A and B are shown apart, each in its own frame.
Chain A
Amino acid sequence: MTMPNPPVLPQALLHVLLPVERRESVVGDLLEEYRDTRVLSMGRFRANLWYWQQVFGFWLRDYWGFVLPVFGLFALRDVLSVFRSPSGHPYFNVEFLFGLVTMSPFVFLLTGAYGSWRTRRWAGGILATLATFIAVWLLITAWWNTTLYPFALIQQSNPYWIQAWQGSIHGAHAPSLFGFNPKSPSESFLRWAFRENVAAQIVVAASMLGMAIVGGGIGSVLGRMTPRRPGGYTQVHG
């Protein structure tokens, strides 16, 4: 009888994500658990979900430290940008924080370097960076969509944001490339905020993906070139 196998993609991801000295044993452990216990007790579909969950858990434990700083800076900048003094001036130098946010290529570089150093594969660094990018972007998107409405209620009574809204909807209406222009002089503040929010998500996704590929690529090459002891393992073969 043919034994069931976990989905190919998470198996391949796990292979790339694990340090070389742990790869065989960990992949074997998960395969054994999947075949011996999970498929029998949960069924194939839930066992596959369980496998995905385990792979995600391995990635998360190694790389959450790279995700949180970038997301934290984005969220902090967002809060300080929204909550302004009645005159519209920020309480804190937002441009400084914006400078820190643009450090994210450096974080991706570090992620790539750490990933390839840890796995001894440049592909490990690239995968770690791309997964970090996806996690950061999902967190930012969740943050923006969750805070959109409550923040817009605060923003619409601040002169700074009223000016930004008016400036946007009454701005020059140059015909766009595809004859599509969502801006309208009668656009409400909430609708404007929503449209800006969607646009920001797309722009951040595109720019951050570029940073992840470039930063992660450079970092992966650097990390691969850095020598590494085999993680303190006592390599005794029995």
Chain B
Amino acid sequence: MADVLGAFEQAVLLSIVRLDAEAYGRAVVREVSARLERDVAAGAVQATLERLERKGLVRSRLGAGTPVRNGRARRFYTVLPEGRKALNEASAMHDAIWSGLTWPLKART
């Protein structure tokens, strides 16, 4: 089994999956922020992307820049098969942990 993914790593990987061909740095930050319903620092996402790339779960390629970026290149990310496997394992583990319980848990008085 691959390393267990942290919650933030899962959020970043799933954002790349959702964004598909449009998964570049800023788009991933916005997607993660929207999913987690909080402002997420670009540094946090970049550090995670760098780590995931080092682990061989994602790969990146440079794309063309746009005028609003002063022509600076965008770095597009793709989830590799190892990354999808890690996500599936994380999801399976999540299901196993929650199995038999109904969400949301009722507060005991």
Q: Is the CB of A36 within 8 A of B68?
A: yes
CB within 8 Å of A: which B39-60 residues: 41-44, 46-47, 50, 53-54, 56, 59-60
Q: Is the CB of B50 within 8 A of A22?
A: yes
CB within 8 Å of A: which B19-73 residues: 24-26, 29-30, 41-44, 46-47, 50, 53-54, 56, 59-66, 68-70, 72-73
CB distance from B27 to the nearest CB of A (A): 9
Question: Given the complex, which residues of B lie within 8 Å of A232, measured CB to CB?
Answer: 50, 53-54, 56
Interface membership of A86, Cβ < 8 A? no
CB within 8 Å of B: which A7-44 residues: 22, 24-33, 35-36
Q: Is the CB of B29 within 8 A of A33?
A: yes
Contact residue among B43, B44, B59, B72 (Cβ-Cβ distance under 8 Å from A28): B72
CB within 8 Å of A: which B75-96 residues: 75-76
CB distance from A190 to the nearest CB of B (A): 41
Interface membership of A236, Cβ < 8 A? yes
Q: Is the CB of B43 within 8 A of A60?
A: yes
Q: List 15 A-B contacts (CB under 8 A).
A: A24-B73, A25-B24, A25-B72, A25-B74, A28-B72, A29-B42, A29-B74, A31-B70, A33-B26, A232-B56, A234-B59, A234-B60, A237-B61, A237-B62, A238-B61
B residues contacting A by CB (< 8 A) are 24-26, 29-30, 41-44, 46-47, 50, 53-54, 56, 59-66, 68-70, 72-76
A residues contacting B by CB (< 8 A) are 3, 22, 24-33, 35-36, 53-54, 57-58, 60-62, 231-238
